[in-house]
Structure 1
Amino acid sequence: MPAPVHSSWLASKWRYRMVFGCISTAFLLAILKSGSLQLNHGEALKGLAEKQYKRTFQVAAARGMVYDREGRTLAGTVPMDSVYVEPRHIVEKEETAIKLSEALSIPTTKLEKRVAGSRSFAWIQRRIPPATSETVRQLDLRGVGLLKEHQRFYPNHSVAGQLLGTVSIDGEGQSGIERAYDSALKPKAQRTSVLRDAKGNRLMTDTGLELSAFRGNDVHLTIDAQMQQVAELALVETVRKFKAKSAWAIAMDPNTGEILVMANAPTFNPNTPGTARRHSRNQALSAAFEPGSTMKTITFAAALEAGVVHPEESIDCENGKYKLGRHTIRDSHKSNWLTVRDVFKHSSNIGTLKIALAMGEQRFKDTLKQLHFGERLGLGLAGEARGRLPRKDKWGQTRLSTISFGHGLMVTSVQMLAAVGTVANDGVWVQPHVIQRVTDAFGEEIPQRDRKPAHRVFKTETAKTLAQIMQTVVEPGGTGTPAAIPGIAVAGKTGTAEKVDPVTGRYSKDLHLSSFIGFAPADAPEAVVLVVVDEPQEKKFGGLVAGPAFRKITEAILRARGIFAAPSEKEIAASKEKQKKNKAKSKMMAAANTVPPLAVEEGAMPDLRGMTLKEALVFLKRVGVVPQIEGQGLVQEQMPKAGAPIVNPRAIELKLAKEQ
């Protein structure tokens, strides 16, 4: 008997319900699980998902620029691509290494190590040339990408190289201005995310950031690049000529304290620092040394200020030999009685120490303190030396005497420049500085730390009197005549200091530090300049060794400020001789151009025999002929002969010979 219809329908209905219930239950469980994951592990799962298609990059803007006082670029940046890999996204590691090796000229074995493993990031090569970058881009390798970085560039090569310094591969300042102002020059780094495809390549390269707003600040120096180059060339020539170990120079405007030149030789190119790292030290800033006789400028200034001497007062210089305790002090030039003015002019150690002893220890020490010897002057640059003065218990008559002529203390170039600059500035000390200003990406000036206040050390009368005495050094009979500038009054002082032998620990008769310091024009100074030459050979005196470089540097600075040297007698004589020759030449040319025409038939060859070449050319020019010439002197032969028709204008020949 067949089952009732309603029983079959009921069974089917229950099956539908069971299936629906199972599906509903599964769906409900999925919803509950999803909710649980979202609530409890949402952020972690979101991060895992984003890793598949996103990558966060640090986007670096350009490092700030460095300019000279006239706005010329001393240090800048250029954008360049760098190659990186993401090993965990590279499938064909061996093939990738081979292709990159061919494009980048890197050994395959080295690249295989870089692409191995499952690291998320590794550099392959930083800052590659544009052509190489394009080659890598066209390879379109999975897990290989290019990032834009910035390469530091110094367009003037070695000009101010030691002062500017260098940066590391990661753009960190390592020395010089780059290190001292790294926090100002360094760009403000920003992080941004970009989308990637299945190969790991970036799909969106526009970060949406205005990078110019995040670039580093610009540093403007007081240095003049053109004067700096003149100084470096002069120092290189000095080192070469005297076979010196090194040389340096520093120049300053005594009225403002702005440093115009800070040069070294041998020079240093920060574009290729590895080739000459040993020359990267800025000795104009970091060297501490015994100044020798240039220190007499300070001794005389202090004595004149104290009123213990007068320029025309006479001093017994003991015929060049003087016993001081157990030491014997000697002069290079033996003299008996000299005026104070001549003691300075002839650089007498004996006369100078007697002036110092008459002044007394305390007055001299007070002057050194007012001029900031023995302390850093706060240029804000890494490596600035402090110098060294004797301890209080080390002073006495002997130490006072030796310091008066530049031995027994250590000074820096900047200290000496500021001290002599005080004399040039009518007795007012001004702090030297090399930073003019710092500006942000929008040109707004950023406040810097305050400088030491200017203060008076000497009376104006004292400074002017000493400036007059200093002028005698470059006059005939003085020790610094090679530093003289014709037509411009120069006030200066030579220095020749014996160096301590590193082996014996005693002063050496063979190792010297030769220097010249001075300012010009003496009556209205625009520049104070110091030149130091380390261990010159054959010649040692500061006037002979450092004086010529001082003159070249000072002339360049004055010329840039519209002050020109008068020509020397030799130059005047040469100019007159040149004018005389030019005048005679003009007369000859005028005579040649006024030669009367020859009576010849039209189209016929004139008779040119006996004429000078210029006269002959004048006639031939009238008939439209340019001849072929052989020999020198007067026309002896011609082709064609006089009166013959000129058939071929290119076949005219003139043979010249000197009269016997």
Structure 2
Amino acid sequence: MTIKKSIMFRMGVIYLFFLALALWLCIEIINLKFIQADKWKTQSHEVERSENIVMPNRGDILDVNGKKLATSVPSYRLYMDLLAEGLTDAKFNSNIDSLSICLANFFKDKSAAAYKRDLQLARQKGRRYHLVNPKRLSYTEFQVVNKFPIFREGRNKGGFIPEQLDRRQQPFGSLASRTIGKMYGESTKGGMLGLERAYDDKLRGTPGTSVMKRISGRWVPEVVTPPIDGYDVVSTIDISIQDVAEHALRKQLVRHNADHGVAILMEVQTGAIKAMVNLHRLSSGVYVEDYFNYAIGAATEPGSTFKLFSLMAALEDGVVKVTDSIDTGNGAYRFYDRIMRDSQQGGYGMLSVSEVLEKSSNIGIAKIIYENYKDNPRRFVDRLYNMGINKPLGIELLGEDRPLIKYPGDNSWSGTTLPWMSMGYEVKMTPLQLLTYYNAVANKGKAVRPMFVKGLSHHGKMVERYSPVVLNSSIASRHTIEAVHQILIGVVERGTARNIRNSNYSIAGKTGTAQVAKGSQGYQSGGVEYQASFVGYFPAERPRYSCIVVVSAPSNNVYYGNIVAGSVFREIADRVYATGFDFVVESQWKPGREDHVYPYSKGGTFDDIRTIFRELDYPVYAVSSAKEWVSTTAADSGIVIRPKPMPNGVVPSVIGMGARDAVSLLENAGLQVHLQGVGRVVSQSIQAGSKIRPGSTIFIRLE
């Protein structure tokens, strides 16, 4: 009995233990299922739902006509998970040879055997993120690689992990690149320079969120908050005009072996910047755009172009009239211990106030200012300050240099400051600041802030438009503005800029030739460089555009503003005027003239060619439809426009075309275009007549 009772006792204990365990499990199940369900459900979501940031697409920067100046282009880097669930030994071993051959043929950097060895070693080491090749692939290249053996199975079945990276690209190459700006190396850091930085908060968009959710053993992404793509920034830049301005400036810089140069074209009424070129010479002799933004960041002594403001101050204060006479003497005049000279040997003698500016007499303007303000120089400087030329423009681009207009009482003020200041020395302004106030004269006295952006668009629709900002509603009286306007016309018609006048339209402006000190060497012998400039506007009767050209350190013994900078201004103005159909154009052709020889043009679109000739009032005979590429010939009775068929499926010839026409034609043919240089197309990487492979890249070189 004792043994039996002992056994029964033990069984009872075991029974009670399992009964208690069962009761405890039931209580825990009830507790988990009903009482703490919400708590554990939340924790399970935290484990199974891994939150990630989804980056938005960065907006594009567009020119005023909607052409892409900067855009994000995807590139891809190839990785492999060699232990992917679906990548079995059988699949890996049966496809590794063909994959290695494909990789070797595609990248051409090592043999198929080397690729096979690398992949086998990576699988043996259990690598889950193996870099197959460091090269970044374009979208077109990625589409090819995506069809390789194993890779085409995807991530889970083949272990293929393509990493997408966005690369910022400027489709027009270096054109306006300093104004467009740059991104930091890591795109998440945003814009570093130019419009990319100024409008980074508009371009970058708003990130979204996603989670990775485990379903049936697989991780599946689920978007929680969708990202909001950035706005497109519609700039005021016209890339066609930018092309013209850069080509004209580059040609002159090369001709005169200059150190650097600036060209800016501004719309008079709005201040919209249509083109801004900054070219700098490298040690190799090549001129590049993205070195430094001299237009806004380099305040220098402007020289004779500053004489306009000195004369405006004197006219506004009523101390002289345009008809007054000034004795400039024999070309040399002493102010205290310094001798001032005019550029003409022997001097100009007696000049009217208008002629002082037309001939750019240093002595003439200095005597006007010194004799009338020597007892109260503050009056003169206050008048300049009232115009606003002593203040920064406050533009959105980073790096604007401050202007320097000395004030009596400053440590650097001396007895000779006033006369030298009157002709543009001992003062400093950037090219854009100088242009802004010449633009004000063209705009009937109203100074407007230079505008680089027209507005913002989203998915092709304008969502915000920017309006011009007035800096000074009137920099001088209407009488003074009209007086100096006529004098600036006289500079071109009769004065120092006679070489740029023409019969088609009138120009108003001022030449400048300044000596610029080379660092610490001062103005002593060997320490001087020259800066040639021309600033003005056109057409003078109804100003539409203002423009400034500055060429620094020209050599070859030619450094005068009318020759070095004026000719660039004229070339830009000619090209802009020729394509500006709202200008008043007087054609040389007259009805009934039988001796007239009609012109012809290079190829282009039907609409463009017809519009140009009709605006020039030439008779046009067209045998074409509005969407065709055409050529022209001159006939006895007018210009004949004929279709210029472009064969389908083959690469067209773009030799001799400008950038805009060449890019349009090649992109319409299905090619990706990369530009090199500026001017006209002189070569193309794919021979004309070759069969087109859609998505292929063609390089075209312009000079």
TM range (shorter): 0.7 to 0.9
Matches within 5 A, 1:166-565: 166-171=182-187, 172-195=190-213, 204=220, 207=223, 211=227, 214-266=228-280, 279-333=290-344, 334-360=347-373, 361-391=377-407, 392-393=409-410, 394-440=412-458, 443=461, 445-446=463-464, 451-476=469-494, 478-502=495-519, 504-506=521-523, 511-538=529-556, 539-559=558-578, 560-563=580-583
Secondary structure, counterpart of 1:488 in structure 2: coil
Q: Residue 651 of structure 1 aligns with which residue?
A: none
Q: Deviations over 1:135-192 (max 9, x none)?
A: 3643756776234443323222222111001113432111100011111110211120
CA deviation after TM superposition for structure 1 residue 313, in Å: 1.7
TM-score (norm 2): 0.68
Which consecutive unaligned segments of at least 5 residues does structure 2 have? 590-594, 600-633, 638-703
Q: Deviations over 1:344-365 (max 9, x none)?
A: 1111100010111244223331
CA deviation after TM superposition for structure 1 residue 497, in Å: 0.7
Matches within 5 A, 1:31-70: 42=40, 46=44, 49-50=47-48, 55-70=50-65
Task: Give the stretch that moved more between structures: 220-229 or 22-31.
Answer: 22-31
Amino acid corresponding to residue 492 of structure 1 in structure 2: G
- Comparing both structures, which one devotes a greater share of its residues to strand? 2
Q: Residue 623 of structure 1 aligns with which residue?
A: none
Secondary structure, counterpart of 2:531 in structure 1: strand
Q: Residue 605 of structure 2 aligns with which residue?
A: none
For the residues of structure 2 that align with 1:375 and 1:123, how far apart are their CA atoms? 57
Against the structure 1 CA distance between its residues 551 and 468, is the aligned structure 2 distance closer, same or farther, given a 3 Å change threshold?
same
Against the structure 1 CA distance between its residues 101 and 499, is the aligned structure 2 distance closer, same or farther, given a 3 Å change threshold?
farther
Contact 2:209/2:225 (<8 A) preserved = no
Larger Rg: 1
Contact 2:176/2:289 (<8 A) preserved = no
- Return the match for 2:68 from 53, 68, 73: 73
For the residues of structure 2 that align with 1:14 and 1:225, how far apart are their CA atoms? 99
Matches within 5 A, 1:78-157: 78-83=73-78, 128-130=137-139, 131-132=141-142, 135=145, 137-138=151-152, 145-157=161-173
CA deviation after TM superposition for structure 1 residue 110, in Å: 12
CA deviation after TM superposition for structure 1 residue 251, in Å: 1.8
Secondary structure, counterpart of 2:405 in structure 1: coil
Amino acid corresponding to residue 382 of structure 1 in structure 2: L
For the residues of structure 2 that align with 1:379 and 1:440, how far apart are their CA atoms? 24
Against the structure 1 CA distance between its residues 447 and 223, is the aligned structure 2 distance closer, same or farther, given a 3 Å change threshold?
closer
For the residues of structure 2 that align with 1:15 and 1:127, how far apart are their CA atoms? 74
For the residues of structure 2 that align with 1:355 and 1:33, how far apart are their CA atoms? 102
Which consecutive unaligned segments of at least 5 residues does structure 1 have? 269-274, 570-574, 588-660
TM-score (norm 1): 0.72
Contact 1:555/1:564 (<8 A) preserved = no
Contact 1:473/1:492 (<8 A) preserved = yes
Contact 1:372/1:415 (<8 A) preserved = no
CA deviation after TM superposition for structure 1 residue 264, in Å: 2.1
Secondary structure, counterpart of 1:543 in structure 2: helix
CA deviation after TM superposition for structure 1 residue 555, in Å: 2.7
CA deviation after TM superposition for structure 1 residue 534, in Å: 1.2
For the residues of structure 2 that align with 1:237 and 1:568, how far apart are their CA atoms? 29
**Sequence identity percentage:** 27
Aligned residues: 557
Q: Deviations over 1:114-154 (max 9, x none)?
A: x9999999998696323346536437567762344433232
Against the structure 1 CA distance between its residues 279 and 431, is the aligned structure 2 distance closer, same or farther, given a 3 Å change threshold?
closer
Tell me whether 1:161 sits opposite 2:177 in the alignment.
yes
Contact 2:194/2:398 (<8 A) preserved = yes
For the residues of structure 2 that align with 1:568 and 1:506, how far apart are their CA atoms? 50
Q: Deviations over 1:576-618 (max 9, x none)?
A: 6789xxxx9989xxxxxxxxxxxxxxxxxxxxxxxxxxxxxxx
Amino acid corresponding to residue 549 of structure 2 in structure 1: V
Secondary structure, counterpart of 1:167 in structure 2: coil
Matches within 5 A, 1:637-652: none
For the residues of structure 1 that align with 2:480 and 2:53, how far apart are their CA atoms? 61
Secondary structure, counterpart of 1:249 in structure 2: strand
Secondary structure, counterpart of 1:338 in structure 2: strand
For the residues of structure 2 that align with 1:28 and 1:442, how far apart are their CA atoms? 68
Contact 1:180/1:380 (<8 A) preserved = yes
Amino acid corresponding to residue 157 of structure 1 in structure 2: G
Q: Deviations over 1:219-259 (max 9, x none)?
A: 12222222111111111111111111121111222222222
CA deviation after TM superposition for structure 1 residue 549, in Å: 1.1
Secondary structure, counterpart of 1:456 in structure 2: coil
CA deviation after TM superposition for structure 1 residue 55, in Å: 4.7
Q: Deviations over 1:181-226 (max 9, x none)?
A: 111110211120234699x9x7546747655xx0002212222222
For the residues of structure 2 that align with 1:549 and 1:87, how far apart are their CA atoms? 62
Against the structure 1 CA distance between its residues 512 and 252, is the aligned structure 2 distance closer, same or farther, given a 3 Å change threshold?
same
Task: Give the stretch that moved more between structures: 539-548 or 281-290.
Answer: 281-290
CA deviation after TM superposition for structure 1 residue 330, in Å: 0.8
Task: Give the stretch that moved more between structures: 182-191 or 151-160.
Answer: 151-160
Against the structure 1 CA distance between its residues 279 and 49, is the aligned structure 2 distance closer, same or farther, given a 3 Å change threshold?
closer
